[in-house]
A and B are shown apart, each in its own frame.
Chain A
Amino acid sequence: MSDPTAATGVPGGNAKPAPRPRYKRKLSNYLLDKKLQLRYVLLVTILSGVIAGALGYMIYQQKRLASESIEKDLASLTQADSSQEDFQEHVASGLESEDRALVYKMAGVGVGLVVILSLYLLIMTHKVAGPLYKVSMYFDRMAVGRLGVVTPLREGDMLQDFYLNFKDMHDAVRARAQADASALEKALEALRDSKNQADYRGEARAKMDEALDELDKHLIERKKQLA
């Protein structure tokens, strides 16, 4: 899957950041968080299946009862007349086929319902799992110290409030890190200037140089992370 948190800007340059490609929903990406999504899908699907199955069984039972009643009455009416046997059989088979058609109809409705529900829930849960997935990607970047720019969610995504909280936090941490980096950069320059002006002893000077070089490297690395 493509990374929805891909960096937007070009690090270390004055060039305008390239326009971020718009991430569209793909069918293959709909199952982002299997555990979360399938739990909802399965719950609603099983529940709907049980309701539809139970009520469908009741419908079939009632219909079958009516058919049997008609067949019984017809049999008692025609038992004296053997010439009516064909008619009775015809009616009985007609009723039976009607009952069977009802079962097929209900099974079709049930399967259609389950399929439509599953797809709809998949899409709906994707709108929750999508933002969570995106935030997780940003979390992974933060874990390795990378604090890039956070891009907004797609239209229609849920958990917008949560995502805003995350974005505010990320922006604040990034801004603080940038401010610290800037302050350290200035401090580094000031210390290097003062080192040149001051009369530091040999060993101390070497240690100071080493520490400032380390800080310089650290700042370069940090700037990369903040890009």
Chain B
Amino acid sequence: MSEPTKPPASAPAPKPAGGGGGFKGPKPGDRGHKRSWKNLLINKRYQLQFTLFMVGLSTLLMAGLGIWVMKVANETTTVSMASVRGTPCPKVPALVESSGQDEDVLPVPMKLPDDTGSAAPSDTPPAAPAASIDPPAPTPPAAGSGSAAPEAPRERATVVMDESSMTMLPSVIKVPEDFGAKVVGHWTCELRLGSEINALERGRLLILYVLIATGLLLVVGLAFYGIKMTHKVAGPLFKVSLYLGKMQQGRFDKVWNLRKGDQLVDFYEHFKNAHAGVVKMEKEDVVKLKAVIAAAEQAGAGNHATIVELRDIVARKEKAIE
């Protein structure tokens, strides 16, 4: 840490007040020291104690109230989500399978293939039963047969599928006229609700992130501000401590003013008065001793051992208040 009581090489020399026209130079007794971030922590114990107190307190406050905020935010989000989920959407109409017995659906007759294998449909209703036993048709005699009296053919039952009287009705799905509009309405509503739920969740997360960001910003900002603020108190104390050290060694140098923005200005004035008081004591001693020395010299006792000793004291005191 640089010693503030030693003038830096680049420090401007103190100028008399009011000099330099419009230029606002340092007042007499001012030093050209500027604040440096390296010297911010002068009195670690004092500065950190105050800063950590403020930072810790703010963190506790933010954490406590933040948890409260998040609790309420979660509750609200849950309630709002439940509300959104409970919002009724227009339903998609169910598709009803029709058996074909409705008026507008004509039954489709089942057509079976005829003997030739064709299955030409016929609109004629069945006149005969589906299967009947017809009398046996005369069978042509077999070629090459030598028998004159043909053998009576064996009667066999013949099933003739003439035309089916059964009608096979295909299942027909009845589509209402506003089906499309209702489906669109339903899914639009569902998507809107979904997006509302997502927005609610996003809002909840936003609150959380804002809280965390604010907390971090506050802690960092407060730490910096706290150190800077306490520096304005610790700075004058450090400066006074340096002067106290010099005074302890018997050096009563000129006391410079505080920097602009420093606190403890009143306290520093008390110190300056004390310093001036001690300097005045030394000066009074010097005046009295010089008077004695002068009187002794006039009396021809200038070389007296006591006078020599007094001269040493005077020299020491004069050097101290230079």
- A: residues with CB less than 8 A from B are 33, 35-36, 39-40, 43-44, 47-48, 51-52, 55-56, 58-59, 62-63, 65-66, 69-70, 72-73, 113, 117, 124, 128, 132, 135-136, 138-145, 158-159, 161-162, 165-166, 168-169, 172-173, 176-177, 180, 183-184, 186-187, 190-191, 194-195, 198, 200-201, 203-205, 207-208, 210-212, 214-215, 218, 222, 225
Contact = CB atoms under 8 A, between A and B. Distances in A.
Nearest to A132: B267
B250 interface: yes
Given A211-B295, A218-B285, 19 more contacts: A47-B222, A51-B62, A58-B73, A58-B207, A62-B76, A66-B79, A69-B80, A72-B83, A142-B273, A145-B277, A159-B237, A162-B43, A162-B237, A172-B248, A172-B249, A198-B301, A208-B299, A212-B295, A218-B288
B189 interface: no
Contacts of B131: none
Q: What 4 A-B pairs are tightest by C-beta distance, nearest first?
A: A139-B274, A142-B274, A143-B277, A204-B299
B65 A56 contact: yes
Interface of B: 43, 45-46, 49-50, 53-54, 57-58, 61-62, 65-66, 68-69, 72-73, 75-76, 79-80, 83, 86, 207, 211, 218, 222, 229, 233, 237, 240-241, 244-245, 247-250, 263-264, 266-267, 270-271, 273-274, 276-278, 280-281, 284-285, 288-289, 291-292, 294-296, 298-301, 304-307, 309-310, 313
B247 A169 contact: yes
B318 to A, nearest CB: 13
13 contacts: A47-B58, A59-B68, A62-B76, A65-B76, A172-B250, A176-B250, A183-B309, A190-B306, A191-B304, A201-B300, A204-B300, A214-B292, A215-B289
A138 B278 CA distance: 12
A157 to B, nearest CB: 12
A141 B273 CA distance: 9
B273 A139 contact: yes
B288 A214 contact: yes
Contacts of A168: 244, 248
Contacts, number: 201
A62 B83 contact: no
Contacts of B75: 62-63, 66
Output the residue of A39, A59, A144 with the most chain B CB within 10 A. Answer: A59
B83 A73 contact: yes
B76 A66 contact: yes
Contacts of B49: 158
Contacts of B250: 172, 176
Most buried by A among B57, B278, B299: B299
Main DSSP-derived SS at the B contact region: helix
A222 B271 CA distance: 21
B313 A183 contact: yes
A73 to B, nearest CB: 5
